[in-house]
Structure 1
Amino acid sequence: MMERIAVGTRFTKRGQWGWVSRYNQRPDMPDTGCVQELILVGLSTRVLAESAVRGGIRTTAIDLFADLDTREAAHCIAVPSLLEGHLIAAIERAFPGNSSPQLVYASGIDTDPDLVRSLSQTVDLIGNPAGVLQTINSPDRFFALLDSLSIPYPESCFHKPANPGDWVVKLAGTQGGTGVFSASHNIPVGAVCYYQKRLPGPSLSALFLANGQDARVIGFNTQWNDRLDPLSPYRLSGIVNHAAITYEQKKQLGEYIAKLVKSASLVGLGTLDFMIEDGCCKVLEVNPRPSASMALFDERYPAGLLNEHIRAVAGCLGPEVRQDGRALGGFQIVYANQTGVIGDSLVWPVWVKDRPAPGSRISIDDPLCTVTAKGDSIVAVRELLAKRGQLIGASCFA
């Protein structure tokens, strides 16, 4: 597949190969003194690439979309999948010879410890190693870890409950809610899954930095799903960087994260997803890599959160950054309600991210773009996001 990558090729369709642009570091950018050039790999690398710009780090971004935002921030390669062969070919083309480039992975990579182990033979990974990922992503090992640390989680089991009405089934190795279904859903034979009691209330998360021994909680988020796609009723729709929880609950979550970091040797950026039942925070899962929610806090760090991730993996946690007194921010993924082609003359509003290139063909229910908004409350932010999502969804096809 390597011969299909050519410098200067214009990328016009999602999922095809092609070099699409080069970002050159500007002289006015801060020198982090940490990493000068980096590979970013994941389903989408836009958030990491933009954080890299803040930190003055040149990046080669390898993902499935190569959207306009990523092209503006990085030397960008689109791959047809995150299979090992496609990734290795792209890495070797971008960094030929015997060099050992450094790589940060995002969503879509951490759920495959074998892939991470294989990549580590080619690149210098900046993130959690395969062994840590196996512990966090294996349901039986993860629940055993929670039990050993006396960290509560919703009632769970590995067999279909007799009365599944109040339960969901979760496929291991999935993310963004795409592998969560009603417990009555038919699961493919041989699939690794578990059943969990459904809790009322919103899904919440805590973004944190860790160095294997200690942790810093960056902030808390409220998440939601649109439930518009019957094939994926729990897929992530949006996030706001605020959660209506008490000081005691924040303290409780900080203790959970500290225990998990030390016990599992977690490093770098990560998120802990949780819900609240009868005032008690109950852990759903840990995402042991930079998440999309980092975009909602990145501007609060002068050199960006990607730089903080790199430093944390190396063992250094910076000072806490005060998060109070700022407007709330959020984003919402817009899923296409029809199949179409992005027009050549479309002018995107400034509050749109993950903009597909002109000529990109988008299938129904695929991610179309991301809308952003700020406001003084979760309700205000969500209302503005919904309004912008409806507006952009009806106007972007040729």
Structure 2
Amino acid sequence: MSADRAEAEETPAGDLLIATFSGRSIAASARRARYRPLVADLFADNDLRDVAADLRIVRGDFVDGFDGGDLLSALEDLARGRDPVGVLCGPGFEDRPELLDAIAERWRLLGNTGDTVRRLKDPRSFAALCAGLGIAHPEIRMEPPAGGAASEWLVKRVGAAGGLHIGFLGTREPAPDRYYQRHVEGARRSALFVAANGKARILGFSEQWPSPSETEPFRYGGACGPIALDPATSAAVERAIRGIAAELPALVGLGSADFIVPDEGEPWLLEINPRPGATMDVFERDGTPALVAVHLDACEGRLPEAPLRPDGVRAAGFAYCDVDTVTIGAVDWPSFVSDRPVPGTTIRRGEPLFTLKADGASADDAITLFAARLSQMKTMIEEPEI
């Protein structure tokens, strides 16, 4: 047992239910905040088992989401005989706000309500919100643009995350849950923030990159931070996030704002993700507050006075399976790999293999090391020696 976990067991802050696609990063942060994590997720990876006080695997996948009934049953099972402080939800609810409503009927919801998620993840509602606040947001349409070049428009699924659902015009069939957004060029940037009572604090900025496949050109690859933005861009991003928090005073806890920063002009706000997300692996560091503690403080109306200031820069991202199938054997995982599949797990083409991290003195150093480690680990897993 790690020192952090032993200390958490001795002086627990309480039982914390966690519901998310992959629970390891939130559970590890909860341990740092001295909570006992009770986790319902899709994978129950080996290193989640190291930090969770209890866990349940939920039926579902990254594309279609949770089986809602199975998720609620898993949470009820985890809560039985315990008195959890509430439920903290990570990725997996952007297109399922009704699941947040159902959770809130049973336990205290430590994060954003279904109504807040609907307001932010419905494309028409979000576009209207940005327009009313004077925030640059790419044009959207609910019907296929007539006569538009394929490279000018993206097809997206309402409430989806991770970039798997995004393609260029003509590469996805029209559907009731799809919409169209004008494609804008520029650097991908994201702001990690925390909100409460109509206010928001930016905790740090990161740069992001895709890990494209033949059919998923915008699939999320990873992020690196903290990074500095130029003063004008930083100020514009901060105005946008604070404006949205003021307009939506129910917005609470950790969230991220994804932007495209063009060579000239205002940054384009693409979306707000109103929950802890993938950049927890970038910003959760020794020597800084546990992000779960920052989130739960916000749920009590308390915001930090300053951004996070971790030592050095970290790149963190996903490795995806690029062969038809891989069955995980007994792997001697290095410490920079997380979300380690249990031996015997079969992973199919396009599914995530694991998460890895790399630290450096600069973003370039961290990203270079990340790329080298990614190549090394994918070769080891996908091309094992016989």
TM-score by length of 1: 0.87
Are the counterparts in 2 of residues 100 and 122 from structure 1 also a CA contact under 8 Å? no
> 2:237 — aligned with what?
253
1:361 is aligned to 2:339: no
SS at structure 2 position matched to 1:60: strand
> 2:63 — aligned with what?
none
SS at structure 2 position matched to 1:26: helix
Residue 53 of structure 1, aligned match among 22, 27, 31:
31
Distance 1:303 1:56, change over 3 A: farther
Q: How does 1:103-114 map to 2 (within 5 A)?
A: 103-114=87-98
CA distance in 2, matches of 1:248, 1:300: 31
CA distance in 1, matches of 2:304, 2:286: 13
Cα offset for 1:25?
5.0
> 2:305 — aligned with what?
319
1:335 is aligned to 2:314: no
Residue 274 of structure 2, aligned match among 280, 284, 288:
288
CA distance in 1, matches of 2:288, 2:231: 27
SS at structure 1 position matched to 2:234: helix
Distance 1:148 1:28, change over 3 A: closer
> 1:15 — aligned with what?
none
CA distance in 1, matches of 2:224, 2:168: 25
1:142 is aligned to 2:126: yes
SS at structure 1 position matched to 2:373: helix
Cα offset for 1:254?
1.0
Cα offset for 1:139?
0.6
> 1:325-375: per-residue Cα shift (whole Å, max 9, x none)?
x3110112111122121112x100111111101111111221001111011
Are the counterparts in 2 of residues 168 and 195 from structure 1 also a CA contact under 8 Å? yes
Are the counterparts in 2 of residues 168 and 197 from structure 1 also a CA contact under 8 Å? yes
Cα offset for 1:159?
2.8
> 1:102 — aligned with what?
86
Moved more, 67-76 or 162-171: 162-171
> 1:28-82: per-residue Cα shift (whole Å, max 9, x none)?
77968xx511011111111101101111110111101111111111022211222
Distance 1:243 1:201, change over 3 A: farther
Cα offset for 1:319?
2.1
Q: Structure 1 counterpart of 2:32, which letter? A: R
CA distance in 2, matches of 1:60, 1:127: 16
CA distance in 2, matches of 1:30, 1:221: 35
Gaps of 5+ in 2: 61-65
Are the counterparts in 2 of residues 25 and 57 from structure 1 also a CA contact under 8 Å? no
Residue 273 of structure 1, aligned match among 248, 252, 258:
258
Cα offset for 1:126?
0.2
> 1:115 — aligned with what?
99
1:200 is aligned to 2:179: no
Distance 1:99 1:188, change over 3 A: farther
Distance 1:305 1:79, change over 3 A: same
> 2:17 — aligned with what?
39
Are the counterparts in 2 of residues 29 and 55 from structure 1 also a CA contact under 8 Å? no
Distance 1:93 1:183, change over 3 A: same
Are the counterparts in 1 of residues 288 and 308 from structure 2 also a CA contact under 8 Å? no
> 1:26 — aligned with what?
6
CA distance in 1, matches of 2:4, 2:29: 15
CA distance in 2, matches of 1:246, 1:220: 11
Are the counterparts in 1 of residues 281 and 316 from structure 2 also a CA contact under 8 Å? no
CA distance in 2, matches of 1:45, 1:118: 20
Q: Structure 2 counterpart of 1:117, which letter? A: D
> 1:200-238: per-residue Cα shift (whole Å, max 9, x none)?
2222110001003211100011111121x2222211011
SS at structure 2 position matched to 1:369: strand
> 1:150-189: per-residue Cα shift (whole Å, max 9, x none)?
1111233223222233221111121011111101223243
> 1:393 — aligned with what?
378
1:163 is aligned to 2:148: yes
Residue 44 of structure 2, aligned match among 66, 71, 91:
66
SS at structure 2 position matched to 1:394: helix
Q: What is the CA RMSD across the aligned residues, in angstroms?
A: 2.3
Moved over 6 A (4+): none
Are the counterparts in 2 of residues 331 and 370 from structure 1 also a CA contact under 8 Å? yes
CA distance in 2, matches of 1:297, 1:31: 25
Are the counterparts in 1 of residues 288 and 309 from structure 2 also a CA contact under 8 Å? no
SS at structure 1 position matched to 2:69: helix
Are the counterparts in 1 of residues 8 and 32 from structure 2 also a CA contact under 8 Å? no
